[in-house]
A and B are shown apart, each in its own frame.
Chain A
Amino acid sequence: MRQKGTVGWLKHDVTNRGVTAWLLFGALLGFYLILYYGGREIAGWHVPDVLESAARLVHLPSKWTLYGLIYTLAVTGGGIYVIQKYRHNRYQIIRTLVVIFVQATFAFSLPWILAIFEQPEYYFSYLWPLKIDYFYPSNILAMPLPFVLYSLLGSLLMVPLLGIFYGKRWYCSWVCGCGGLANTAGEPFRHLTSKTSASWRFEKWSIHITLGLCLFTTALVVASFGVGDRYPQFTQAAVSVQSVYGFVVMSILSGIIGVALYPIGGTRVWCRNFCPMAAMLGLIQKFGRYRIRVKDDMCISCGMCTKYCEMGIDVRAYAQKNQDFVRASCVGCGLCAEVCPRGVLRLENRWHKDPQELTMATLLNEAYKG
């Protein structure tokens, strides 16, 4: 039951897909359309480039800097709210502080500082396959060597190693900007993620298809660079695949759908269903140390863990049958353990025999449900 009064109504309405939630969705969608397509034509309509003008007005170099500033402020403001809300939980405090720090430095001020020193724009907090262009040969050639080394070693060595030792959470809920926004400004909407087994089936297909597309696009672009001018038609095909991937995955799915859908579909629509980085880390996580430990016979099946899981995992299904588990999608935000009224759940990095035998079947089906 919602609380009495206007504030109670608004709080309930905006966080439970009411009228105000849909209005917010519309506003966010409009914002992203103007951001991505300002100054261009969509279906014969000239989209006004108001964000570019706004950026000029406050003496910022471009609308992307303005967007970065707004994003950083949202992560910081939301982060302060989250720290205040979970002030008794040190995992949440430390994790949120790191998220704010990474956003404010690596994702916002550092690229700016690099520009002052006439270096190319580079984000140390983003790696291939999420930032697919960092593996494009044209980009590699244009970057200074240390950046290229960081990019290659980061993606091929650091990501899998940290994934084995700490699970995918080290990236998805400590470093990544998408996860950062979801876990800070997105906090009031985290419970909206669908928990049905149908949504889980969809996720398993969609995220691995996107990963496949990402690998395919990368391979194609690298190959087309290798064969060079000898097969112009092949190069042309590679260019169009590259731009389709950029349009569908990077702008529509990660930007527009990913954030605008917060008030309707929960905070991790992009991370759960499409992000190639999350897909890769998820597969690594299944072989690593990270897991959620369940205290035997202590669950009261209340469902708080399931409700507040932003990745749509039915945590209760495992907790009520005393099963320690690791799910590919789990980003280790730790909220299930936080909201559990009986302290049943604990995030752990520890080698020990998995109660689910690690076979091809468990990888594909993950676990028995219900």
Chain B
Amino acid sequence: MHYVIVGNGVAGTTAALAIRKRHKPKHAKITLIGDESDYFFSRTALMYAYMDRLTRQDLEPFERKVYARQAIDLVRERVVDIDAASQTLALGSGKSLSYDKLLLATGAKPRMMPFQGVEKVKEGIVHFVSIQDLDECERLTWSTNQATVIGGGLIGVELAECFHHHKLDVTFLVREPYFWPMALGEEEGSLVSEHIRARGVDLRHDEQLEFMEADAQGRIASISTNQGNKLACQMLAVCIGVGADTAWLKQATSAPRIERGICVNRAFETSLANVYAAGDCAEIDMGSAGHRIETIWYSAKLHGELAAKSMMGDTITYEPPIFYNSSKFFEIEFTTVGEVINVPEGTHALYRKAPGKFITQRIAFDAQRVLGFNMLGSRWDHTVLMRWIAERRDIDYVREHLHEAQFDVEFGRAKLHQMEEKEVVS
């Protein structure tokens, strides 16, 4: 049996290791094809490489000899075509490769918009998703004094931190009225904005890019906003989300069904026989619950694990776990579990803040049970918070037992009894 995995990101590599865990090399040949890098690396850690805290090789989660020991063949190639009839892949070098089971884990690409003037800019627009993006950012930083970031999401704030680390003048344009309304309440969002500004980043809300101008060499020179401001910059970071990387597949000899991503059922099977998809590129048909695209590290890891099982013949029905995620806004740590913002109108929430410190908690609840947690500025064990949601605990129980979920360092436990508390209605 030849398992071929396209994409050596977290979904693909997790799948490869999961297959090897069950099947010895004589029963399963595993080929892991990657076009971006020789070895699997942690995409979420790119910012630490940019800030000189990690080297390129530090980003690799496994020692390089692990792949040989686990008999996983690494191939640095671009896959250009799939022929499902003969079960073969065509590679960029002209070679072809046959498979018995194929997993597409090609990830996502940064989203771009047709901004006015973008066609004249040859250099200076950056994203921050791939190793090549990191290379480009590093190359341009040397000749940059002012940088602009657009897009108030996680990658945007990461890049703002990186630019700030390199002592660039950073302007950060976020079209929403406070930081990340998709995930944060207004109180926390405003505190995060304040915090980012206090670090010296010129964060501007309700402001958007209208058009951009390049200098004679084609390097970005300035952008103009809907507020009529013209901002000089030598780097423009566009961080307005990511979308599945499917353009190459659409022209394939046999293309699987594609909508926003590669369509799969709850067993990660595409419309082609023996072809599976997982991670950021997969669009999962959840039946009555609609289609689902998940683009975070944790879901990609889980997809990879489950897709591998499905490929090995297990019966898999994907059931998304209670949502959780984590992040960091400069030094403010953020843990979210369940649903806090995306809740029916009229849902209550308990909002707590430590006086004088950036430590907040928001716990959404209804009459029966808690729905979700947004925790900022201190550490929490998300597994306990998830358990409370799963056990349908009510707000009184959770408030009383909240300290059991604390995960702060020794001596550094956030003082929960000193927090100011109020109830808000969304």
Contacts and interface: CB of A to CB of B under 8 A. Distances in A.
B50 interface: yes
B62 A307 contact: no
Contacts of B411: 90-91, 94
A334 interface: yes
B382 A295 contact: yes
Nearest to B142: A4
A347 interface: yes
A343 B138 contact: no
B211 interface: no
A334 B409 contact: yes
Contacts of A334: 409-410
Contact of B69 (A295, A314, A337, A370): A370
Nearest to B384: A295
B54 A307 contact: yes
Interface string A79-118: 0000000001111101000000000000000000000000
B48 A301 contact: no
Contacts of A92: 409
Contacts of A12: 52
B356 to A, nearest CB: 14
B103 interface: no
Contact of A3 (B165, B302, B324, B382): B165
A1 B141 contact: yes
A362 interface: no
B10 interface: yes
A230 interface: no
Contacts, number: 107
Contacts of B59: 302-303
A343 B45 contact: no
A346 B45 contact: no
Interface in A14-56: none
Contacts of A341: 48, 328, 333
Interface residues of A, number: 38
Contact of B53 (A90, A304, A316, A348): A304
A4 B53 CA distance: 15
A297 interface: yes
B412 interface: yes
B62 A370 contact: yes
A295 B45 contact: no
B409 A320 contact: no
A302 B52 contact: no
A300 interface: yes
B331 interface: yes
Given A89-B412, A343-B407, A302 B165 contact: no
Contacts of B379: 343, 346
A197 interface: yes
B50 A91 contact: no
Contacts of B51: 1
Contacts of A3: 52, 165-167
Contacts of B301: 297
Contacts of A187: none
A1 B162 CA distance: 10
Contact of A300 (B42, B50, B142, B165): B42
B167 A297 contact: no
B342 interface: no
A307 B409 contact: no
Contacts of A197: 63
A90 B357 CA distance: 15
A136 B358 CA distance: 56
Q: Which of A196, A307, A314 gathers the greatest number of chain B CB atoms within 10 Å?
A: A307
B44 interface: yes
A370 B63 contact: yes
Contacts of A348: 410
Contacts of B259: none
A216 B141 CA distance: 58
Given A302-B44, A303-B42, A316 B61 contact: yes
Interface string A294-326: 011110111110110000001010001000000
B335 interface: yes
B166 A301 contact: no
Contacts of B318: none
Nearest to A295: B381
Interface string B188-202: 000000000000000
Contact of A303 (B61, B70, B138, B326): B61
B96 interface: no
B50 A1 contact: yes
B166 A4 contact: yes
A107 B114 CA distance: 67
A343 B141 contact: no
A338 interface: yes
A188 to B, nearest CB: 12
Contacts of B61: 301, 303, 316, 320
Interface in B112-149: 137-138, 141-142
A59 interface: no
A301 B45 contact: yes
Nearest to A91: B409
Interface in B369-426: 379-383, 407, 409-412
B320 to A, nearest CB: 13
B44 A346 contact: no
Given A91-B411, A296-B383, A370-B62, A304 B48 contact: yes
A322 B292 CA distance: 26
B66 interface: yes
A302 B382 CA distance: 19
B58 interface: yes
A347 B333 contact: no
Contacts of B410: 90-91, 334, 347-348
Contact of A1 (B52, B167, B381): B52
A301 B297 CA distance: 10
Given A295-B407, A342-B326, A196 B63 contact: yes
Contacts of A89: 409, 412
A106 B167 CA distance: 43
Across the A-B interface, the 4 shortest Cβ-Cβ residue pairs: A302-B45, A90-B412, A343-B379, A301-B61
Given A1-B137, A304-B53, 5 more contacts: A2-B52, A91-B412, A92-B409, A297-B298, A303-B58
Interface of A: 1-4, 12, 88-92, 94, 196-197, 295-298, 300-304, 306-307, 314, 316, 320, 334, 337-338, 341-343, 346-348, 369-370
26 contacts: A1-B141, A1-B166, A4-B142, A89-B409, A89-B412, A91-B412, A92-B409, A94-B411, A197-B63, A296-B383, A297-B302, A300-B45, A300-B297, A301-B10, A301-B42, A301-B44, A302-B54, A303-B61, A314-B63, A320-B61, A334-B409, A337-B409, A343-B380, A370-B62, A370-B63, A370-B69
